[in-house]
Each structure stands twice: as structure tokens, then as C-alpha cells.
Homo-oligomer: A and B are copies of this chain.
Amino acid sequence: MIKIEAIVRPERIGAVVDAMDAAGCGGYNYVNVTGRGKQQGIEVFTGRGASTTRRMALPKVLITTVIEDSKKEAVIAAIVAAARSGDEGNIGDGKIFVSHVAEVVRVRTGERDGDAL
């Protein structure tokens, strides 16, 4: 089994999870993170309005799903399609990381691995 971790824009989360559903993900979880990549950050005020600062790290959402190896490319393609903003994509659209998972357990039943997904 593999774990796919995708970091996407917060406003894309709805579209991304729908695409993942369609691509056959049995489950997922997501969390708000603060992240920084090539994106330039945003200007924010600090110190009661009289000065601004560049906040480099921006709000993103990290979605994690564990799937069977066979679904990997389908899920990646689904996420990429749904997470891209505009036609060309923009800096800050996100990254996807894939890693191996050794075992999965379903708490309810104690089932393991493939059966637990």
C-alpha cells in the first residue's frame, strides 16, 4: 500500500476530494497547514497598521490517503487535475508526495492491510 500526501490550496479542497472519490479512494483525511514553496507569500499588516510585512508561509491543506499501489497513478492524476488553478496552473498550486505504508489496521474490526482499506 502507499500513502499519498497532497498539499493543495484551501479553496480547492472540495474539488480535490470529489476527484479522489471518483478515482476510487476509500478514505482520506486532511488538515490545514502553513506552507512555503516557490510562492512569494502575501503582504500583511503588522504592528497596528503602520507597517506591513511579507508573510512567506501561506495557508494550505494537506490531504492524506492510503491506497492500494495499483490506484496510484489514477489518484495522482485526479488530484493534479482538480488542484490546478487556472488552465496553466500557478505557483503555489501544491505538491504531492508518495511513500510506502507497511501495514494498515481497521480499528473497528481489527482487519489488516488490503481488507482494511
Q: Tell yes or no: A19 within 8 A of B by CB.
A: no
For chain A, residues 24 to 74, give those with C-beta under 8 angstroms from any C-beta of chain B.
Answer: 26-38, 57, 60, 62, 66
Contacts of A101 in B (CB 8 A): 97-99
Please classify the interface of chain A as helix (H, G, I), strand (E, B), loop, or mixed, using the class held by over half of its residues.
strand
Contacts of A62 in B (CB 8 A): 29, 31
Among B29, B90, B99, B108, contact of A93 (Cβ-Cβ < 8 Å):
B108
Identical chains bound together, number: 3
Nearest residue, chain B, Cβ from A32 = B31
Point out residues on A near B: beta carbons under 8 Å. 2-3, 6-8, 17, 26-38, 57, 60, 62, 66, 76, 79-80, 83-84, 88-91, 93-110, 116
